[in-house]
Structure 1
Amino acid sequence: MTHLNPGGTEAGPTAPALPEPRTAAPAPDASDLQVAAARTEMVARSEEAGDLHPGPVRDALLALPRETLMPQAYVRRSAPDEPPRWELLDWSRPDDREELLVLLHSGDSVSIQHEGEPILGRVPGVRSGGSMTAMSSTMGMTADLLQRLDLRRGQRVLDVGTGAGVTAAVASFICGHDGVVTLDIDRHVSEAARSRLMALGCRPAVVTGDGLGGWPELGPYDRIFVSFAVPWIPPALVAQLAPGGRALMTLGTSSPSWPGLAVISRAPTGVAEAELVAVEFGHRGGAGFDRLFLSAAFRNRITAFEGGRTRRSRLEPPADADRGMWLALDHLHPGLVRDFSAEDLTIGAPRCGSWVRALRVGHRRWEVTSFGPRDIWAEIHDVAGRWRAAGSPHTYRLEIDADGVQRVTSRCGALSWTLTDASHTGTGVTGELDPLLEKGDSHAC
């Protein structure tokens, strides 16, 4: 485990001027203007999409030189269905700069580490196989969550899952770096983030450790931000939340298709309350969080399949916007993954090989083809009926009892489930995740 960044406790300005380097900068040249224009366009796109609004988060993102935090990043040179082949681009190489400029300001996630490698001092070039083990999340999701945090000057902030350091930099800009702690399980990620944040003039405490345990040494915290998905709320993080504080984290199952956003708050009296909001996008799973995926071979079998059980149905499947229903389905009938690239509604259960494909063939008429031991179509409508009877909730209560049991419940109590550590059961069913990114009857209320 590494120690605190020596600069993390030094006296300094409350909020650093983020874009200013540590030495006097030369007058901007054409390249500097191009970078500033790309950053402005990225922020404008987030505003147009409704993910970003005027305020301190927008100001910080507009000022943040992403090329300083991510001077190297990976692009995939192989097709999605081919063995992965990655190329590491480097900002210092003129031939790479144009492509890297576009990548860093595309708004998409940016991969910065391959197979747990050291990040500082890497040689650019091609890597084959393996997977990306650290990244910067998509701009839209990052902006939206940071705004939900309601960061303010003087707050103490715990950023769990440092990645490229974007969240730590924004929190330092808004709150003042002396109150910011950023924590990552990988020392290579921590070392790189520390070096690059210092190059920006930011001095948060950069530490290495298990994010599920938080960092109590410098707590409690007014804001806690977790940048990876968890199967339930880590009790240590709740314990480190200060009165009046707020914590945000993606809560999900082994499926990447239907995430939820856990919002935890502690009242001034000390009582912790939480809710689970169905959202379209969420963070990817952290270390040890096995996630299901639909392989190319599985998807091809569904596309080419002839035979199986085909029936006509007048049951309308829930709309994509009914995220509260899909979130409930994910927990009540776990193991399902949606193929969002398919034209038809296509959902598979990779552990047992079951799948369903539903094609609209007329007004309230669907042709449903299914295969395998699970009747996924029936599972969908079972949960849809229970969800509608519960008032079609989009947000659920998240209750944690004295024994640590965590239960998700609709406001009226008609629809509920208990959170379990299903992602850590050692199923061995792992692989690339969806890009983010890379979403019986009960008594009526």
Structure 2
Amino acid sequence: MSGGALSSEWAPSFDAVPRSAFLPELIWPFDMKAGTSIAVSRTDDPAVWCGYADADVPVVTQWDDGEHTGRDPGQVSTSSASMPSVVFRMLRDLDVRPGNRVLEIGTGTGWNAALLAHRVGAENVVTVEVDGAVAERARSALERFGAGVRVIHGDGYEGCPESAPYDRIIVTAGVRHVPFAWVEQTRPGGLIVAPWGTHYGNGDCVARLAVAADGQSASGAFTGPVEFMKLRAQRLPPVVHGDYVTGGPGDRDTSSTSLTENMFLGERFSSQRFAVSLRVPHCHHVIADKRDGARPVWLYGLTDRSWACVMFRDDGEARVWQSGPRRLWSEAEAAHRWWENEGRPGHDRFGLTVTAEGQAAWLDTPNRSWPV
């Protein structure tokens, strides 16, 4: 269930705490073959339900912040049970020891909190959930299972200062800014593990941050790419194309690029995409569908109405259009060139440092950092 990556220290917890004990009657697992979420009822088809509960796939448990009704998938998934392999990877990164005090941001189904409780003791785990209905369901599931974890309905962005300090903080939602409150609530030498990224895209990378001896910063390398639902306080508002692309051809610059689609985009979780996301601030990109051998990629500025479009083609050089105070494609192309010149670094060569003044990304060492 953990994708073949389960280590000996966590095996007893995963054996004793099945994900199925924390899933609701109706779930929407992601079907890998269909490439979409499907509705599965334990009442109607218990064998299929149990199969997905035990499979290494993400399972949506809430759509549209609870406004969704019916069996069909909703518009936006807003609570879920993560892939068991991802859950294990993050718990491994957390490096908990028996007796550690742990704060979890994002209770979800309660399964992750129950795994932690089995390892460190339920009295040492506090979990915070922003959605009241989700928090109540998780509290009930944890009580039925016999894991007396303290579940708090609140905004995890603020942490849980009344129970601090913690030895470990683990975050189960995508973060765009690590609040310094989490650093303040972690003991010096403690760890914060969180999926982090920029608004460039939906992808995240797991940051493993060690709190400094003086408690004034937390820093560490990324351990690998993931994708999580975003912390509700940090969701990106909708980017409306029509608010950017206005006027006629005279309002934009036209050029070309020698970069190909594969060179620039790579795979979904490619390190070049992550590098560009770190080097082109306050920008969101959208990859459109390919038609007739052509794929447009759009870049939108988040602090002004700058935009760019590169039209990659299978049979020729890509054309570029740019408009606004920033030349976003020029920035993106320069970021890709920087990544190439640095030896095409993977995710684990990048890191993040958080202080009271803000956060900075770095390559290889915190001494080579820039604000993000």
How far apart, CA to CA, are the structure 2 residues paired with 1:65 and 1:309?
Answer: 56
Partner in structure 1 of residue 243 of structure 2: none
Q: Show the counterpart of 2:250.
A: none
Question: Are the aligned partners of 1:184 and 1:210 in contact in 2 as well (CA < 8 Å)?
Answer: yes
Counterpart of 2:274 in structure 1 is 327
Given candidates 187, 192, 199, the residue that maps to 1:254 is 199
Distance 2:288 2:224 in 1: 15
Matched, 1:368 2:318: yes
**Alignment partner of 1:110 is 2:59:** yes
C-alpha change, 1:56 and 1:126, in structure 2 (3 Å) is: same
Return the offset for 1:406: 2.0
> Does the 8 A contact of 2:286 with 2:299 survive in 1?
no
User: Residue type matched to 1:148 in 2?
Assistant: D
Once the 2 structures are TM-superposed, how far is the Cα of residue 251 of structure 1 from its aligned partner? 1.6
What is the CA–CA distance in structure 1 between the aligned matches of 2:365 and 2:340, rounded to whole Å?
Answer: 12
2: CA distance, partners of 1:76 / 1:310: 44
2: CA distance, partners of 1:217 / 1:340? 46
Q: 1:69 to 1:387 in 2, by over 3 A?
A: same
CA drift of 1:108 comes to 1.9
Report the Cα offset of residue 293 of structure 1.
8.2
The offset of 1:129, in angstroms, is 4.9
Q: Indicate how the Cα distance of structure 1 residues 376 and 253 shifts in structure 2: closer, same or farther if over 3 A, else same.
A: same
Opposite residue 138 of structure 1, the aligned amino acid is M
1:107 deviation in Å? 1.8
1:37-78 deviations in Å (ceiling 9; x for gaps): xxxxx24xx00xxxx23223233223322222003233389x
Partner of 1:222: 167
Structure 2 residue aligned with 1:134, among 61, 79, 87? 79
| Paired AA for residue 387 in structure 1 | W
Aligned 8 A contact 1:293 1:337 in 2: no
- Identify the structure with bigger relative contact order (alpha carbons < 8 Å, sequence gap 6+): 1
Deviations 1:254-281 (A, max 9, x none): 2334423322112556464313527332
Kept in 1: contact 2:201–2:285 (CA 8 A): yes
- Answer yes or no: is 1:380 the counterpart of 2:332: yes
Structure 1: where are the runs of 5+ without partners?
A: 1-41, 78-83, 296-307, 420-445
- Contact persistence 1:184–1:208 (CA under 8 A): yes
TM-score relative to the length of structure 1: 0.66
Counting matched residue pairs gives 344
1:245 alignment partner in structure 2:
190
The worse-fitting range, judged by mean Cα deviation, of 336-345 and 265-274 is 336-345
Aligned to 1:96: 45
Structure-1 residue corresponding to 2:14: 61
Is it true that 1:358 corresponds to 2:340 in the alignment?
Answer: no
Structure 1 residues 314 and 142: CA distance shift in structure 2, 3 A: closer
> What's the CA shift string for 1:279-315, capped at 9, x where partnerless?
33232211133347899xxxxxxxxxxxx97857377
1:80-109 per-position Cα deviation (integer Å, ceiling 9, x unaligned): xxxx9985x443x1x232332233233222
State the secondary structure of the residue aligned to 1:133: strand
What CA distance in whole angstroms lies between the structure 2 residues aligned with 1:191 and 1:283? 21
Unmatched segments (≥5 aa) in structure 2: 31-35, 241-252
| Structure with more strand by fraction | 2
User: For the residues of structure 1 that align with 2:145 and 2:362, how far apart are their CA atoms?
Assistant: 44
Structure 1 131/220 Cα, relative in aligned 2: closer, same or farther at 3 Å?
Answer: same
**Structure 1 Cα separation of the partners of residues 83 and 294 of structure 2:** 26
User: Percent identity, aligned pairs only?
Assistant: 23
Q: Report the equivalent of 1:348.
A: 298
Within 2, Cα distance between the matches of 1:265 and 1:247? 7
Judging changes above 3 Å, is the alpha-carbon distance between structure 1 residues 173 and 208 closer, same or farther for their aligned structure 2 residues? same
TM-score relative to the length of structure 2: 0.77
Counterpart of 1:100 in structure 2: which amino acid?
W
Is contact 1:390–1:415 with CA below 8 Å preserved after alignment?
no
Displacement of 1:210 after TM fit? 0.8
Which of 199, 204, 208 is equivalent to 2:149? 204
Q: Which amino acid aligns with 1:260?
A: C
Q: Residue 116 of structure 1 aligns to a residue in which SS? A: helix
Report Cα offsets for 1:207-262 as digits up to 9, x if no partner: 11110111122221111100112222111111111133111112222233442332
Return the offset for 1:148. Answer: 0.9
Letter in 2 for 1:235: F
RMSD across aligned positions (CA): 3.8
Letter in 2 for 1:332: R
Cα contact 1:181–1:204 (8 A) shared by 2: yes
- SS of the aligned residue for 2:199 comes to coil
Pairing of 1:72-221 with structure 2 (within 5 A): 72-75=25-28, 87=39, 89-91=40-42, 93=43, 95-117=44-66, 125-126=70-71, 129-221=74-166
SS of equivalent residue, structure 1 residue 347: strand
* Equivalent in 337, 355, 362 of residue 285 of structure 2: 337
Q: Which letter does structure 2 place at the counterpart of 1:111?
A: V
Give 1 or 2 for the bigger CA radius of gyration: 1
3-state SS of the aligned residue for 1:231?
Answer: coil
Q: Distance in 1 between matches of 2:58 and 2:239?
A: 20
